[in-house]
C-alpha cells in the first residue's frame, strides 16, 4: 500500500509538472509575468520565491497551476496575460496540452527501445524484434468446451498436450492449429493463472471454427531499433489519442443527453487503484499507464469547457474571429469559476462511485 501511495503521488506529480511546465515556459518566452508556479492545490506545504515567481508545493496532489499576472484580474501592466495578443495567449494556453502529448511520445519511445507490448497496434505492424509472446484468452463462449473445462478470461495459454504430443503456444496460430488438429478429441490445455500453471482437460468440439470456444489475443513484447522508435512511438501516440478522443466524445454525449457517467470512467480513486496494479505488473506497464494518463489529461484539458485550457482557448479564438473580446473579462472569469465548480462536483460524484465500488468488493 505504501508503494502504491508513493507511486500515485509521483505519477500525478510528473503529469502535473509537465503540463504546468508547458504553460510556464511559454509564458516566460512571451515575457508574461508568472507570479506563482504551484504543484497541487492549497493548503501550502512549501514555498520559495525566486526572482519574480513564487514556487509552491501544496498538500492536495490532484493538479497544479501557473498563476500569471492579469489572468484572473484586470491589469494595466504590459506584461499581463490579458494584455498579450491572441496568438501569444493561444500558445501559452495550449502549451500544457502539447507537453503532455510530448511526454507520452517520449515514454513510448523509451518503451519501444527497451522492449514493450504495443498498446493499440498489433505486434506484427511494429518494425522490430519480437522478444516474447503471450497468448491470452480474452473471452469464452457460452456452453463451450473451454467453459466446461473452467478456463477463464485472462488465462495465458502455454501449451497443448495430446498423448505424447506437446505443443508450445508461441503464437495464436499455434493454439488454433492444435485445437483444429484434435477436434472431437480430449486434450490438455496448460494455462498460467495468477503466476501458477494449471492443467485443464478439454474435450474439443467438432466445429471448424473455434473448437475450443475462445477468442484470444496475442500480446507480444517488441524491441524497436533506436532510430525507428521515435516514429513508431509517434504513430502509437496518434492512434491512442484518436481512440481516446472517440471515447471522450461518447462519454460527454452520454453525460449531456442522459445525465449518466459511463461505468468505464474513473476518478482519483480509480487512478490510485490502477497505479497500484501497474506497479505490481512492472516498470514497463507503469510506463505505459503514465503515457495513457498523459494523453487523457491532454485531451480532457483541450475540451472547450470553462476552467479548462480548451475553455480559455475557445474565448481566444472567438476574440480572434470577431476582432474583439465578445465577453468581458469579469464575466469570463465568473464563467471559468463556475466551470471549475462543476468539474469539482463531477470529480466528487465519480470518486463517490469509485469508493462505493471498492466497498462493495
Distance CA 280, CA 120 (A): 22
Which of helix, strand or coil describes residue 115? Answer: coil
- Residue 218 a catalytic site member: no
Tally helices (H) and strands (E) across the chain.
9, 8
Residue 60: φ, ψ to 5°: -90, 110
Per residue, the 3-state secondary structure of 173-204, as one string, reads HHHHHHHHHCCCCEEEEEEEECCEEEEEEEEC
Distance CA 130, CA 95 (A): 36
User: Is the omega angle on the peptide bond into residue 131 within 30 degrees of 0, that is, cis?
Assistant: no
Residue with cell 465548480: 341
Q: Which of 20, 218, 236, 332 is catalytic?
A: 20
pLDDT score for 343 = 67
Length of the chain: 361
The separation between CA 242 and the C-alpha centre of its own chain, rounded to angstroms, equals 12
pTM (predicted TM-score): 0.80
Those residues with Cβ within 8 angstroms of residue 211's Cβ, 6 or more apart along the chain or in another chain? 145, 179, 180, 182, 183, 204, 205
pLDDT per residue, tens digit, the chain (361 aa), is 667 778 778 888 889 899 999 999 999 999 999 999 998 888 889 999 998 999 999 888 777 889 999 887 778 889 998 889 999 999 999 999 999 999 999 999 999 999 998 888 888 888 888 888 888 888 888 888 888 999 888 888 999 999 989 999 888 888 889 999 999 999 999 999 888 899 999 999 888 778 888 888 778 889 999 999 999 999 999 999 998 888 878 777 776 666 665 555 555 666 666 676 666 667 888 898 899 989 988 998 898 878 788 888 988 898 888 777 776 777 776 776 776 676 667 666 666 665 666 565 5
Q: Is the dihedral of CA 345, 249, 254, 336 positive or negative?
A: positive
Residue 88: φ, ψ to 5°: -65, -45
Distance CA 332, CA 41 (A): 22
pLDDT score for 356 = 64
Residue 274: φ, ψ to 5°: -70, -30
pLDDT score for 270 = 64
b/e burial code for range 238-247 (CB count within 10 A of at least 16 → b):
eebbeebeee
- End-to-end CA distance of the chain, in Å? 17
pLDDT score for 267 = 57
Amino acid at each position: 500500500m505504501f508503494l502504491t501511495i508513493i507511486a500515485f503521488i509521483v505519477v500525478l506529480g510528473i503529469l502535473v509538472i509537465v503540463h504546468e511546465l508547458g504553460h510556464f515556459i511559454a509564458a516566460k518566452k512571451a515575457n508574461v509575468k508568472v507570479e506563482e508556479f504551484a504543484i497541487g492545490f492549497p493548503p501550502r506545504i512549501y514555498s520559495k520565491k525566486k526572482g519574480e515567481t513564487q514556487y509552491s508545493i501544496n498538500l492536495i496532489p490532484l493538479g497544479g497551476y501557473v498563476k500569471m499576472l492579469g489572468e484572473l484580474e484586470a491589469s494595466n501592466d504590459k506584461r499581463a496575460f490579458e494584455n498579450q495578443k491572441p496568438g501569444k495567449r493561444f500558445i501559452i494556453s495550449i502549451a500544457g496540452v502539447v507537453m503532455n502529448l510530448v511526454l507520452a511520445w517520449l515514454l513510448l519511445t523509451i518503451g519501444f527501445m527497451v522492449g514493450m507490448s504495443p498498446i493499440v497496434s498489433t505486434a506484427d505492424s511494429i518494425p522490430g524484434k519480437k522478444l516474447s509472446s503471450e497468448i491470452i484468452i480474452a473471452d469464452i463462449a457460452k456452453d463451450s468446451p473451454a467453459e466446461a473445462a473452467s478456463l477463464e478470461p485472462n488465462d495465458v495459454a502455454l501449451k497443448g498436450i495430446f498423448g505424447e504430443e506437446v505443443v508450445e503456444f508461441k503464437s495464436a496460430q499455434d493454439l488454433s492449429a492444435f485445437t483444429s488438429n484434435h477436434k472431437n478429441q480430449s486434450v490438455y490445455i496448460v494455462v498460467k493463472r495468477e503466476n501458477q500453471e494449471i492443467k485443464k482437460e478439454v474435450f474439443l468440439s467438432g466445429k471448424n471454427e473455434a473448437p475450443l470456444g475462445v477468442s484470444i489475443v496475442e500480446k507480444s513484447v517488441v524491441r524497436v531499433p533506436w532510430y525507428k522508435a521515435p516514429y513508431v512511438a509517434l504513430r502509437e501516440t496518434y492512434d491512442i489519442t484518436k481512440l481516446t478522443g472517440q471515447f471522450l466524445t461518447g462519454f460527454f454525449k452520454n453525460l449531456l443527453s442522459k445525465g449518466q457517467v459511463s461505468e468505464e470512467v474513473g476518478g482519483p480513486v480509480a487512478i490510485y487503484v490502477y497505479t497500484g496494479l501497474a506497479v505490481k505488473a512492472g516498470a514497463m506497464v507503469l510506463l505505459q499507464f503514465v503515457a495513457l494518463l498523459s494523453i487523457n489529461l491532454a485531451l480532457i484539458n483541450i475540451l472547450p469547457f470553462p476552467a479548462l485550457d480548451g475553455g480559455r482557448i475557445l474565448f481566444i479564438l472567438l476574440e480572434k474571429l470577431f476582432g474583439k473580446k465578445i465577453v468581458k473579462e469579469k464575466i469570463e472569469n465568473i464563467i471559468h469559476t463556475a466551470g471549475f465548480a462543476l468539474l469539482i462536483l463531477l470529480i466528487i460524484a465519480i470518486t463517490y462511485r469509485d469508493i462505493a465500488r471498492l466497498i462493495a468488493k
